[in-house]
Amino acid sequence: MTTFKTGDKVLITVGKRVVQGNVMLASPNGKSLMLEFEAILGGFVGRMPVLMNDEGAFHDIATWEPIGLEKAP
């Protein structure tokens, strides 16, 4: 499981859409993140708060839709 920290460049996937973004803010354990990006993604404009579930998958906090997240190359 990848641990994300503030400042990481990431690829964010919602459904079939993938956008580049950054981790604007991360909790010390990396399970709560504020992502920033230049798009409308999953109903969020520019920023999206996400939480990690017990299985290690991220979800947006409004609808609990799964969010794919990986470090950008």
pLDDT exceeds cutoff 80 at 3: yes
Positive or negative: CA dihedral 27, 12, 50, 25: positive
pLDDT exceeds cutoff 90 at 65: yes
Q: Residue 66's pLDDT band (boundaries 50, 70, 90)? A: very high
Q: In this predicted model, what pLDDT tens digit does every residue of 5-57 receive, in sequence order?
A: 999 999 999 999 999 999 999 999 999 999 999 999 999 999 999 999 999 99
pLDDT confidence of residue 22: 98
pLDDT exceeds cutoff 80 at 1: no
DSSP at 2: P
Instruction: Tell which residue, 54, 55, 49, 2, has the closest CA to residue 24.
Output: 49
